[in-house]
Structure 1
Amino acid sequence: MTDIVYYTASTLNGFLADASHSLDWLFSVDNAGAPDIAAFMDTTGVFVEGAATYEWVLRAENLMAEPRKWQQFYGDKPTYVFTSRKLPIPAGADVRLVNGPVTSALADIKAAAGDKDVWIVGGGDLAGQFLDAGALNELIISFAPAALTGGAPLLPRSVGPERLKLRSAQQHGQFAMLRYEVLATGGAA
């Protein structure tokens, strides 16, 4: 069964990126013992991102000038980018630009994932849209020992405890990884 998973890193006070959409705060954290992203990627068949996340990756990794690097990050897996604009796509990358509500692309995204999971890479509002649609199955959040005064929020929604069930809490070096199952509205497991 294909699950839709929002897997991200956050500051202690719930920001994904700073006010300039930068992740510099994250890369300044000692990553010794950090979660094994490669193992998670093996379970993933499709990536989903918002335009700000996608554009940050393009800039940070210089992917338009060095498109061969795309494979290091995404391999041959499709990436759905939700945007209202025409965005550049690195040569050879399987990037599918989507405009509209997540529900309109959900069937295509799940079909492209096959028997693997869908990874919502970011941002928080996009993950919130999947949550609003009842399509988000799991949250995996690696909290880092950092705080920002503002920026892109982790999940800009009101979500009560009846919607989330803690499945695990682990230390990975300087990161605290929490895994939550997303429950149906009002449900308990």
Structure 2
Amino acid sequence: MMSERKVSVYIATSVDGYIATENDSLDWLFRSEPEGDAGYGEFYDTVDTVIMGRRTYDWVMEQVEGKYPYEDKQSYIYTSRLEESTSDITFTSEKPSTLIDRIKKVDGGTIWLVGGGAIINEFLQNNLIDEFIISIAPALIGKGIPLFNNSKMEHNLELTDVRRYGQFAQLHYSIKKAND
């Protein structure tokens, strides 16, 4: 029997819907301090698998000076470059639906689709995301990398929770699947 694992996007955006500036900066996000960790710890404790795109992985590795912060999770990094995987990190160009089907066949926790925008949109277009947890930061940045970029599909969402962390509003949505 397949487990009830879910693919979650837990992410912060500016009020105008950007996840980073055009040059991948998150300075706008770090200028606004949420209350506590904005629920990150509670969410992270449910996660056992992390998926991200190569640009996001490179950005994370630069920020943490080469010490991968998700070593306690199984990680999949989407890339077109040939790279040797490690015990915790699998570099892949596997079709997203194939990867998610394989992961969901094994019991476990939440599958966190970290980002960036391109990989989130690819998973969204393939109807592979189960929920969004979006923290809205009190900033307008005008242009940059949008969270949602020209999705070719319509998606019905259900608001399941709203939380406030200082100046941050956090919206929890589940994606209503065709059979819901």
Q: TM tier, shorter chain?
A: 0.7 to 0.9
| CA offset digits 1:50-81 (Å, max 9, x no partner) | 11111100111111xxx3xx3xx314211111
- Map of 1:146-185 to 2, 5 A cutoff? 146-156=139-149, 157=151, 160=154, 163-185=156-178
What is the total number of aligned residue pairs between the two structures? 176
TM superposition score normalised by structure 1: 0.83
Establish whether residue 16 from structure 1 lines up as the match of residue 10 from structure 2.
no
Listed as ranges, the gaps of 5+ residues in structure 1 are none
Establish whether residue 26 from structure 1 lines up as the match of residue 29 from structure 2.
yes
TM superposition score normalised by structure 2: 0.87
From the superposition, tell whether residues 54 and 168 of structure 1 become closer, same or farther in structure 2 (CA, over 3 Å): same
Alignment match, 1:80: 76
Deviation at 1:41, TM superposition (A): 0.9
Distance 2:83 2:44 in 1: 24
2:118 aligned partner, one-letter code: D
| CA offset digits 1:68-104 (Å, max 9, x no partner) | xx3xx31421111111124687xx7711111143123
Bigger share in helix: 1
Distance 1:56 1:128 in 2: 19
Deviation at 1:110, TM superposition (A): 2.8
Deviation at 1:18, TM superposition (A): 0.5
Report the RMSD for the aligned CA atoms in angstroms: 2.2
Kept in 2, the 8 Å contact 1:76–1:93? The answer is no
Helix, strand or coil at the partner of 1:55: helix
Bigger share in strand: 2
Identity of aligned residues (%): 31
Listed as ranges, the gaps of 5+ residues in structure 2 are none
From the superposition, tell whether residues 171 and 22 of structure 1 become closer, same or farther in structure 2 (CA, over 3 Å): same
Helix, strand or coil at the partner of 2:160: strand
| CA offset digits 1:111-158 (Å, max 9, x no partner) | 56x321100111122122222222211011000001112211112125
Deviation at 1:28, TM superposition (A): 1.4
Kept in 2, the 8 Å contact 1:46–1:78? The answer is yes
